[in-house]
A and B are shown apart, each in its own frame.
Chain A
Amino acid sequence: MPETAFNYVYGNSLLHRLDPRTKLAAVMCLSILVFREESFTGMGLLIAYFLLLTWISGVRLSFLLGSVRPLLFFIFFIFCFQLFATKGTPIIPLPVLTPTYEGLRLGTLLALRFGLLLLYAALLTASTLPSQITNGIERILRPLPLRFLGVTSFDLATMMSLSIRFLPSFLENAATIRAAQLARGLDLRHDLRRGTTAIAVPLIRRSILSAEEVTEAMESRCYQGQYRTSLHELRMQKLDWTALLGLGAFSLFIFLL
């Protein structure tokens, strides 16, 4: 497998050693900050904070930037839309589409927003093993009264780790089915709607069937989805509280700015 977006990067930095719950909380908190930030100063601070965390984590910046690449087109589109669709003082008077200063400002902010969201998420996945993220989410959800809905946080955790585990085979199936339909003369450039059905229907069907197989294989090995204990119980350390405190101070600063 080539290096892809949102992969774990092996390391032993402060960031790697933090409790996954701390990091999940941090990503949530930072996402809220990113979304409600309206000024460039605040945005600049959030970028600086991201760079600081990246430096601490020891993950290559270019690796994290790679996570944004698949959505670059989307971000660019949003930027252009804002640039041309916002009313205000025109930069250059053009007949049909007029770029405005207000649009430029709004577009840049939005593009930065999406970029930062992705980058913070990439930092989380780069410094935390998927199983650790699952553990963290499970532990956060544990106090919720989920059993009234018929599930436990352990079920959810199993579901999550299974979905992550089967992502590569899902992609492989997608590639196989795509090749098969191309061989039958499907032309994706000319008939996108039909192409989507021709690929999605067999893919979803195949996925459900293999999910069923996995369920049976798990049941035949006595999986019951009850309360399960873990070898490495998560424990918040002094480091975690310090990190959260630091984050809290930073958030307050941004908030009051």
Chain B
Amino acid sequence: MGIKVENLSYSYSGNRKGKPALENVSLEIAKGEFAVISGAAGAGKSTLIKHFNGILHPENGRVTVDGLETRTREVRRKVGMLFQHSQNQLFEETVYREVAFGPSNFGIRGEELDKRVHEALSLVHLDAGTLDRSPFSLSGGEKRRVALAGILALRPAYLVLDEPTAGLDPEGRAKLLVRLQNIHEKGVGIVVVSHNLEEVLPFTQKVISMEEGRIMFTGSPEEYLRAGYSPVPPLARLMKELNKKGASLREDIFTAEEALKELQKLRQEKPERDREKSEKGAAETEAQDNA
């Protein structure tokens, strides 16, 4: 079960001679998992996620969601997808109709529809007062939240978001990630595409790192940091720098709490290490003398 990608290759039509956008990609995202797909621009992240709900179909290989082929319509409902600049997809006259668009496309009407719209709106912390307003009268951040609510109203089993924090202010970014965590706690699997790894790492269980259409790494955030891939988030870099200066701290750290714990260790260790260092220094001079 989950989203399963096997040996997927894809190249955009008209570019068959050039490098494929995806080359032999295999991965699995379990039910209820919070995963991040990272990589530089042009690494194939967006192309990959478009296969999750059948916007694109594999040229080679296979993609299934809970065992279903992505050509089935059910997959569109199961995998909710929010693209970049999602504020641009709004078109209805009121926020209510905007949020209701998705579920009504799947034949949901009446009370059930109403319930879903309200539920989705509260998940993104918009109050019911906005329901009758035109989505175009909202601020940029609010528009994004309406777009997200429009996806949540489908009650997807997986929520896939392409650069959801791009263009938001720092407070907006933090809030959005906490909201995603709340949604994740309800059992929804979440896949975030991001090249800003540091802000997503504290929330994820799995990091998938891509480069030029291939998967370079799959594993937990800790494993990712230990494997020494770049970019390295600031806290992990701090630990690295301290280690260069002679500390022996864990380098697989990405939350302030963990970092604090490690730094406190430094204080206890200090006298012991100084002694070690002088011994080591003496040994070195001795070795030089011998030479």
Closest CB of chain B to A16's CB: distance in Å? 25
Q: A179-B50, A184-B102, A185-B77 are in contact. Are A202 and B91 (CB under 8 A)?
A: yes
In chain B, positions 75-96 with a C-beta closer than 8 Å to chain A are: 76-77, 80-83, 85-86, 88-91
Closest CB of chain B to A69's CB: distance in Å? 15
Determine whether the beta carbon of A2 is less than 8 Å from that of B14: yes
Judge if B9 is at the interface, Cβ distance under 8 Å: no
Please give, as numbers and ranges, the residues of chain A lying within 8 Å of B86 by CB-CB distance. Answer: 180
Question: How many angstroms from the CA of A48 to the CA of B122 in the assembled complex?
Answer: 69
Judge if B3 is at the interface, Cβ distance under 8 Å: no
Please give, as numbers and ranges, the residues of chain A lying within 8 Å of B150 by CB-CB distance. Answer: 184
Q: Flag B165-185 by CB within 8 Å of A: 1 or 0 each.
A: 000000000000000000000
Closest CB of chain A to B208's CB: distance in Å? 20
Determine whether the beta carbon of B154 is less than 8 Å from that of A202: no
In chain B, positions 151-206 with a C-beta closer than 8 Å to chain A are: 151, 154
Determine whether the beta carbon of B101 is less than 8 Å from that of A176: no
In chain A, positions 1-35 with a C-beta closer than 8 Å to chain B are: 1-2
Please give, as numbers and ranges, the residues of chain B lying within 8 Å of A185 by CB-CB distance. Answer: 73, 76-77, 101-103, 105-106, 154
Judge if A215 is at the interface, Cβ distance under 8 Å: no
Closest CB of chain A to B92's CB: distance in Å? 8
Specify which of B73, B88, B154 is in contact with A184 (CB 8 Å cutoff). B154
Q: Flag B92-127 by CB within 8 Å of A: 1 or 0 each.
A: 000000000111011000000000000000000000
In chain B, positions 47-77 with a C-beta closer than 8 Å to chain A are: 50, 53, 55, 73, 76-77
Judge if A139 is at the interface, Cβ distance under 8 Å: no
Determine whether the beta carbon of A183 is less than 8 Å from that of B53: yes
Determine whether the beta carbon of B81 is less than 8 Å from that of A183: yes
Judge if A206 is at the interface, Cβ distance under 8 Å: yes
Question: How many angstroms from the CA of A205 to the CA of B83 in the assembled complex?
Answer: 17
Determine whether the beta carbon of B91 is less than 8 Å from that of A201: yes
Chain B residue with the shortest CB-CB distance to A176: B83
Determine whether the beta carbon of A179 is less than 8 Å from that of B55: yes
Determine whether the beta carbon of B76 is less than 8 Å from that of A183: yes
Determine whether the beta carbon of A206 is less than 8 Å from that of B88: yes
Question: How many angstroms from the CA of A206 to the CA of B86 in the assembled complex?
Answer: 12
Q: A1-B14, A2-B13, A202-B88 are in contact. Are A180 and B102 (CB under 8 A)?
A: no
Chain A residue with the shortest CB-CB distance to B50: A179
Determine whether the beta carbon of A198 is less than 8 Å from that of B76: no
Chain A residue with the shortest CB-CB distance to B102: A184
- B55, B86, B91, B154 interface centre (most CB from chain A within 10 Å): B91
- A185, A198, A202, A205 interface centre (most CB from chain B within 10 Å): A185
Q: A185-B76, A202-B89, A202-B90 are in contact. Are A180 and B83 (CB under 8 A)?
A: yes
Closest CB of chain A to B139's CB: distance in Å? 15
Q: Flag A176-201 by CB within 8 Å of B: 1 or 0 each.
A: 11011111111100010000011001
Question: How many angstroms from the CA of A182 to the CA of B102 in the assembled complex?
Answer: 9
Closest CB of chain A to B126's CB: distance in Å? 18
Closest CB of chain B to A177's CB: distance in Å? 6
Question: How many angstroms from the CA of A206 to the CA of B83 in the assembled complex?
Answer: 15
Determine whether the beta carbon of B89 is less than 8 Å from that of A187: no
Question: How many angstroms from the CA of A235 to the CA of B13 in the assembled complex?
Answer: 42
Q: A184-B151, A185-B76 are in contact. Are A177 and B55 (CB under 8 A)?
A: no
- A180, A201, A206 interface centre (most CB from chain B within 10 Å): A180
Please give, as numbers and ranges, the residues of chain A lying within 8 Å of B83 by CB-CB distance. Answer: 176, 179-180, 183
Closest CB of chain A to B144's CB: distance in Å? 12
User: Given known contacts A181-B89, A183-B55, A185-B102, what 17 new A-B pairs fall within 8 Å (CB)?
Assistant: A2-B14, A177-B88, A180-B83, A180-B89, A182-B55, A183-B76, A183-B80, A183-B83, A184-B102, A184-B105, A186-B101, A187-B105, A191-B105, A198-B101, A202-B89, A202-B90, A205-B91
- Interface residues in chain A, defined as those with a beta carbon under 8 Å from any beta carbon in chain B: 1-2, 173, 176-177, 179-187, 191, 197-198, 201-202, 205-206
Name the 7 nearest CB pairs between A and B, nearest first: A2-B14, A185-B105, A201-B91, A180-B89, A183-B81, A184-B102, A180-B83
6 contacts between A and B (CB under 8 A): A2-B14, A173-B88, A181-B89, A182-B76, A198-B91, A205-B91
